Chain A
């Protein structure tokens, strides 16, 4: 079952339970709303008319000012009584639900983020597991307990992972669910087994979180026992998302104001990353022994997971489900593809040449195709495992979208600091063959200057919005009609264009512009990606069907999204941008991308067929 409007466990507010067509969650879209929070209707008209305003900064970033948060809490969130009322009034739960020995819902004042306890109203639904009596300090769940007087250090969340992740160490290893710092983290990820054993936690030592894991497991199995499955719980500003994959449970607890669908997608990727390391055959261990402790199997992979989670806030591949190519001249990419093609014919399943997260070229054996998510997870695995840079290596790796049950063998070699070749094969004894192939590839790439071209492209910027041609060189194939207004603005690019992302639906590839002046700060960039992600979720809302255009203005910027059969365009303008003008610029962006497609995209003709 998908979302269950009947089940109050999922949400404190039945009204927001049904599929929300709005990208801006009614609960979160709080201040300065000059228009009602109606979901933008499916705008089938090609001329966008819908403008919905939302201000997101107050919940997205930890440094938001306290008054705003207070305002938002008191404005929008139901009081504790309301929550209880709603739960009680919903008839689908057993009568003894709240009085049960096992699980109890406790409402407490929210103390997070430096709010004074008298700020009131912040209803946090806390699950307490009493019967188990876990010895963890508070024996309670997430965000319980008041009395935090620890000065908020602001950036407790979302740190960039360093290079120091080594073996058994991990960031904030000392924390557990009794630590203030742990409870203040804005985004937690957990993997646990269906017997409640912790497998992975983004923060803190998994073993110390056994009680907390058991609590999560209890919530999931409580709902499962009634023949249902839990999708999410909203608790004040926290959203708790559950994903059940056979014997493995994944949970995200977030107060980052990201849409449910986006967080669920992140859990899917987390699961995919786990499969890449272990394959789905790990399920068999649970069949043999339900109490199987899986955590040791993931030993030494903390850096992989923290890098993955970090990329949720900077890499659009995580929600676009597309990959991006390193811009290269057509002949250069052709040269790279040709040599990959050449070696791939000798029993290699996939040959991939990448530079950081960008694809230079990839070639697959007949009929084998590589899912963009697999490319992303593979690149993340390689880039976050420092040992690949030390020497050539040969390792078992599973591509979850290709075949989640089986290992492939990956030969990985860094040709220079950022450029690496991955040769994937099904044969476990072909190391020396792959090594020979790599030597051939490397020689050809060096001789044909492809490697130096790659380095040049890395150093040069990609698509700069300042370079957007002023007039379309030829009439666009498809264009949004708009009355022409010709007052040029100069902030950022034309008409205040700050940034764009263009995804080719057919190629499963995207290209995004460099960040220009107004978006130089990484926090702004992260905020923008979150806004794009929200836009993506609302545009692809399953409940209302895919939208075609959306124009959204807030005090930071204007976002415009346009989806056709062939492409998806996401563009950001400065907040004062004129709509008609912006649309005109978007037409030019599309034309520009088409003009450059040979350099920024990898074409299937040269990859998947031979």
Chain B
């Protein structure tokens, strides 16, 4: 069952934009959830999504403009399915002010940094704070250290990230979109933590 992160409760909640009908699933076995990826530019948000949705990895990755929308349905072991409606946002600074457009009403957020870039880890913390302030109070948050295949260039220690995640009620995982390492696990973990509507009597 869902163990949603405990967050300050003063957020605005899911008013308005880009919501679709995602937060009101028809039945407990077939959830739809809006998921947003946030993080600095170049950390591999699009690569994570494309690996998850299409099983592809393109080393000549493209700069995202605004936000891309993709969806993927995940079948869980308990025979329920979850349809992720994924907003893959641009990491560029000029889009930061527009991020609420994409994360408002999101049931889950994946905050990504690059394990070889301390700046991107700092940026990730900025996004966590932003979500805590303005995001959906029930949002499930994941902190993801991507590019785990570049371990020899690591400059963000796993333990530091894990501590930070624990403090902020997030779960933490290191992934590699390149090798596909932990990508499915990431989304499965998000799925497990999503609050489920109470089963019908």
Contacts and interface: CB of A to CB of B under 8 A. Distances in A.
Contacts of B98: 396
B63 A385 contact: yes
B179 interface: no
Given A166-B62, A432-B20, A390 B41 contact: no
Interface in A140-184: 163-164, 166-168
Contacts of A163: 60
Interface stretch (B64-72, B145-153, B158-166, B184-192): B64-72
Interface in B1-30: 16-20
Interface string A245-274: 000000000000000000000000000000
A236 B90 CA distance: 44
A481 interface: no
Interface in B28-83: 41-42, 46, 50, 60-70
Contacts of B63: 166-167, 300-301, 303, 385-387
A387 B49 CA distance: 13
B18 A431 contact: yes
B117 to A, nearest CB: 12
Given A297-B94, A300-B41, A387 B64 contact: yes
Given A278-B94, A297-B93, A385-B63, A392 B16 contact: no
B70 A391 contact: yes
A393 B67 contact: yes
Contacts of A386: 62-63
Contacts of A278: 94
B34 to A, nearest CB: 11
B60 A299 contact: no
Q: Is the interface of B mostly helix, strand, loop or mixed?
A: loop
A300 B67 contact: no
A435 interface: yes
Contact of B17 (A164, A167, A428): A428
A393 B69 contact: yes
B101 interface: yes
A583 interface: no
Interface residues of B, number: 28
A392 B41 CA distance: 19
A387 B68 contact: yes
Nearest to A165: B63
Given A278-B94, A299-B93, A432-B18, A390 B66 contact: no
Contact of A166 (B16, B61, B88, B94): B61
A388 interface: yes
B92 interface: yes
B93 A166 contact: no
B60 A428 contact: no
A394 B42 contact: no
Nearest to A397: B66
A467 interface: no
A297 B97 CA distance: 12
B27 to A, nearest CB: 21
B86 to A, nearest CB: 9
Contacts of B41: 167, 299-300
Interface in A407-425: 410
Interface centre among B92, B94, B98 (most CB of A within 10 A): B94
A429 interface: yes
Contacts of B66: 393-397, 410
A388 B62 CA distance: 9
A588 B10 CA distance: 73
Nearest to B71: A391
B65 A387 contact: yes
A277 interface: yes
A171 to B, nearest CB: 14
Interface residues of A, number: 34
Contacts of B20: 432
A36 interface: no
A452 B62 CA distance: 28
A296 interface: yes
Given A299-B93, A300-B92, A390-B46, A428 B101 contact: yes
Given A163-B60, A167-B42, A395 B94 contact: no
A163 B101 CA distance: 30
Nearest to B86: A391
B60 A390 contact: no
Contacts of B88: 391
A381 B42 CA distance: 19
B92 A299 contact: yes
B50 A390 contact: yes
A300 B90 CA distance: 10
A429 to B, nearest CB: 4
Given A167-B42, A393-B68, A395-B67, A277 B61 contact: no
Contacts of B101: 428-429
A197 B150 CA distance: 35
Contact of B18 (A298, A301, A303, A394): A394
Contacts of B93: 296-297, 299
Contacts of B64: 387, 393
Nearest to A395: B66
A429 B26 CA distance: 22
Contacts of B68: 387, 390-393
Contacts of A392: 68-69
A429 B19 CA distance: 8
B69 A390 contact: no
Interface in A341-392: 381, 385-392
B119 to A, nearest CB: 12
A395 B68 CA distance: 8
A381 B60 CA distance: 19
A79 to B, nearest CB: 49
B35 to A, nearest CB: 14
B177 to A, nearest CB: 14
B17 A429 contact: yes
A71 to B, nearest CB: 46
B94 A394 contact: no
A300 B91 CA distance: 10
Given A163-B60, A297-B94, A388 B65 contact: yes
14 contacts: A166-B60, A166-B61, A387-B62, A391-B68, A391-B88, A393-B64, A393-B68, A395-B66, A396-B98, A397-B66, A428-B17, A429-B17, A429-B18, A431-B69
Interface of B: 16-20, 41-42, 46, 50, 60-70, 88, 90, 92-95, 98, 101
Interface of A: 163-164, 166-168, 277-278, 296-301, 303, 381, 385-397, 410, 428-429, 431-432, 435
8 A-B pairs with the lowest CB-CB distances in the bound complex, closest first: A395-B66, A386-B62, A429-B17, A300-B63, A387-B62, A391-B68, A393-B68, A387-B64
Given A166-B60, A387-B62, 12 more contacts: A296-B93, A299-B92, A300-B92, A381-B65, A387-B65, A390-B46, A394-B69, A395-B66, A396-B98, A429-B18, A431-B17, A431-B18
